[in-house]
Structure 1
Amino acid sequence: MSEAFAQEGVQVVYKWVPWKRAYKDTQTGNYDATAAWVPTPERKQLFLFSDTMYTNQKVFFHLKNYDFDWKTIADLQGLSIGGAIGYTYGAEFDKAAKEGTLNIQWTKTDKQNFNKLLAKRIQVFPQEVEIGYGYISEFPAEQAKLLIHHPKPLMQTTHHLIFSKKLKKNTKLVQLFNSGLKKLKDSGKYNDFITASRSGKYIQAK
């Protein structure tokens, strides 16, 4: 976000607050904008949406030496699949899991599922691409190199910067952000950020 705005000479000041507060206070105009949000009909009535900041793809991670392919949820039957309690993996997957047609081994954390993949206790595990590679980067190199993801997304959502409709200046701010974001993508810097994210750079910097 900072880099996109910087392309248009706008400096960003951040304030870290809980999600619900960020949403409510941006809606009322206490903040200019909040990130990053998935569009819904209700939100589109309340906020101005930027162009897509990134597309969040949830994919299946597995061992490189495991010959895995899938096209439909039915193809997953018979596999030992990892899952994290409280997560959603899309309506069709969640329905199949609830009905018991998929063999899901539930854990409390994503890290546990990656450990189970390495131990061959499960065969596949759905996770967001960027988050998944962030976790993988925390493993020793000899283990990290054993893991890969299948390119077909299980589910995907677009994420956006949303601006308060209460502030007239935000119509211009949305335009500036979209312009800066396009410049980042055209220059190749956007892809550099994605690559750095997958390498775990931003997680390690915390």
Structure 2
Amino acid sequence: MVRSFFALLCSLFSIASFAQHVNIATGHWPPFMDENDPDKGCVAKLLRDALKLENIDVRFEFMPWQRAYIEGQKPRYAGTAYWYFSEERANTYLYSKYPITYEVNLFYHLKDNPMTAKNFSDLEGKILVLTKGLTYPKNLLEIIAQKKISVIETTYTTQNLPLVLAKRGDVAILNTHTADAYLQTLSDEERNQVVAHTTPAFTMSGYMLFNHKNKDIAEKFDRAMELLFENTAYLEEYQKRCPPLPSSPPQKQEASVL
């Protein structure tokens, strides 16, 4: 198993000098996509390794998420990474066959500002911190409109927890791995003020989105992902930083509320 993992790495390096070069638009979402990480995040590494198997070298360009979605449609880019499923996006982009993340999202709030949220309706009266361009469940957005829940929209997800700490917002929704990454950047005093609600908000799978001009690259990516899924050692290495991936492609659907 270890031998096969190193054989894969050797094959990746051996083809690099002959690679086609593509750009992928993305946003900062550690540990998955991380502008400050040498690998640019664990999902970025997965994307890079998969496409290298098809002689394609990747350059990630980081920008606000909303802009990354728009830029990914332009000829300069192969697409954008990574996004949860939505019917609207499926009409604009080609979704990868395989998910590249599986995430559980939680409500984060201050200890001295407790909340009881068995469903989204319980957010009434709270100020919710969301990020422009990210995907949220339709029923959450409907309840926000129906209950007239106040929302602060940030440009970068790095702004969400600081707004909660500053008491400008009451609740932020983040996946557990990303929240942990952000919490590590806070002081002990600040970190001890923030708690995650025990009831998860929703689950989602993330996908690579290819623009329609790059259908051939999308097909190559799907083929390469099948090879990586067969490599147990590679997946074990991936899961040291990112949540485990399903062994077979699940049906694409919008956010699943727990």
What TM-score do the two structures reach when normalised by structure 2? 0.53
Q: What does residue 128 of structure 2 align with?
A: 82
Post-superposition shift, 1:4? Answer: 6.5
Aligned 8 A contact 1:63 1:146 in 2:
yes
Q: Determine whether 1:71 maps to 2:112.
A: no
Determine the C-alpha separation between the residues in 2 that align with 1:191 and 1:118.
30
Structure with the greater relative contact order (CA < 8 A, sep ≥ 6): 1 or 2?
1
Determine the C-alpha separation between the residues in 2 that align with 1:150 and 1:178.
36
Q: CA 1:14 to 1:143, structure 2 compared with 1: closer, same or farther past 3 Å?
A: same
Q: CA 1:65 to 1:7, structure 2 compared with 1: closer, same or farther past 3 Å?
A: same
Aligned 8 A contact 1:90 1:154 in 2:
no
Determine the C-alpha separation between the residues in 1 that align with 2:209 and 2:131.
29
Q: Deviations over 1:104-154 (max 9, x none)?
A: 263656555523533556543223444433332321133223323235443
Aligned 8 A contact 1:83 1:113 in 2:
yes
Q: What does residue 52 of structure 1 align with?
A: 99
Post-superposition shift, 1:85? Answer: 7.1
Q: What CA RMSD, in Å, does the superposition of the two structures yield over aligned residues?
A: 4.1
Determine the C-alpha separation between the residues in 2 that align with 1:4 and 1:13.
10
Determine the C-alpha separation between the residues in 2 that align with 1:125 and 1:5.
31
1:110-149 to structure 2, matched below 5 A, reads 113-119=160-166, 122-149=169-196
Q: What does residue 198 of structure 1 align with?
A: none
SS of structure 2 residue aligned to 1:98: helix
Determine the C-alpha separation between the residues in 1 that align with 2:215 and 2:206.
21
Unaligned runs of 5+ in 2: 1-43, 62-67, 244-258
Aligned 8 A contact 1:81 1:105 in 2:
yes
Unaligned runs of 5+ in 1: 196-206
Aligned 8 A contact 2:51 2:58 in 1:
no
Aligned 8 A contact 2:129 2:171 in 1:
no
Q: Could you tell me which amino acid in structure 2 is paired with residue 115 of structure 1?
A: P
Determine the C-alpha separation between the residues in 1 that align with 2:80 and 2:110.
37
Q: Determine whether 1:15 maps to 2:59.
A: yes
Q: What does residue 152 of structure 2 align with?
A: 106
What TM-score do the two structures reach when normalised by structure 1? 0.62
Post-superposition shift, 1:60? Answer: 0.8
Q: Could you tell me which amino acid in structure 1 is paired with residue 146 of structure 2?
A: E
Determine the C-alpha separation between the residues in 1 that align with 2:132 and 2:95.
30
Determine the C-alpha separation between the residues in 1 that align with 2:108 and 2:222.
36
Q: Determine whether 1:177 maps to 2:177.
A: no
Q: What does residue 193 of structure 1 align with?
A: 241
Q: CA 1:111 to 1:54, structure 2 compared with 1: closer, same or farther past 3 Å?
A: closer
How many pairs align?
188
Q: What does residue 36 of structure 1 align with?
A: 82
Aligned 8 A contact 2:106 2:200 in 1:
yes
Q: CA 1:86 to 1:45, structure 2 compared with 1: closer, same or farther past 3 Å?
A: closer
Determine the C-alpha separation between the residues in 2 that align with 1:59 and 1:112.
16
Aligned 8 A contact 1:39 1:158 in 2:
yes
Post-superposition shift, 1:71? Answer: 1.7
Q: CA 1:152 to 1:51, structure 2 compared with 1: closer, same or farther past 3 Å?
A: farther
Q: What does residue 159 of structure 1 align with?
A: 206
Q: Could you tell me which amino acid in structure 2 is paired with residue 158 of structure 1?
A: S
Determine the C-alpha separation between the residues in 2 that align with 1:122 and 1:5.
36
Aligned 8 A contact 1:64 1:147 in 2:
yes
